[in-house]
Amino acid sequence: MKLGFGLYRHMLNEEHYKFAKQCGATHLVIHMVDYFGNDSNDKSNANQPIGEKDGWGGAGSGQLWSLEELLKIKKEINSHGLELEAIENFDPAIWHDILLDGPKKEEQMELVKEQIRIVGKAGIPFFGYNFSLAGVSSRDIGPYARGGAESVGMNGIVDETPIPNGMVWNMVYDKNAPEGSIPRIDHDELWKRLQYFLENLVPVAEEAGVILAAHPDDPPMPYVRNTPRLVYQPDMYQKVLDIKPSENNKLEFCLGSVAEMTEGDVYEATDRYSKQNKLGYIHFRNIVGKVPNYKEVFVDEGDIDMVKILQILKKNNFEGALIPDHTPQMSCSAPWHAGMAYAMGYMKAAISHVNN
Does the pTM of the predicted model rise above 0.85?
A: yes
| Residue 107, pLDDT above cutoff 80 | yes
Averaged pLDDT for residues 315-329:
96
| Residue 188, pLDDT above cutoff 80 | yes
Averaged pLDDT for residues 153-172:
93
Q: Are 192 and 327 in contact (CB under 8 A)?
A: no
DSSP class of 332: S
Residue 199 burial (CB < 10 Å; 0-12/13-18/19+)? exposed
- Alpha helices by DSSP H, listed for the chain, are 14-22, 67-78, 92-100, 105-121, 187-208, 236-243, 255-260, 266-275, 306-315, 335-355
pLDDT digits (tens, 9 = 90+) for 254-284: 999 999 999 999 999 999 999 999 999 999 9
Residue 98 pLDDT: 98
Closest CA to 83 of 40, 30, 133, 47: 30
β-strands 126-129, 57-58 pairing? unpaired
pLDDT digits (tens, 9 = 90+) for 7-55: 999 999 999 999 999 999 999 999 999 887 665 555 555 566 655 666 7
pLDDT digits (tens, 9 = 90+) for 47-77: 666 556 667 788 888 999 999 999 999 999 9
Residue 60 pLDDT: 87
CB atoms within 10 A of CB 332: 9
Averaged pLDDT for residues 249-253:
98
Supply the mean pLDDT for the chain.
Answer: 94
Residue 193 pLDDT: 98
Assign 221 a pLDDT band (cuts: 50, 70, 90): very high
CB atoms within 10 A of CB 56: 26
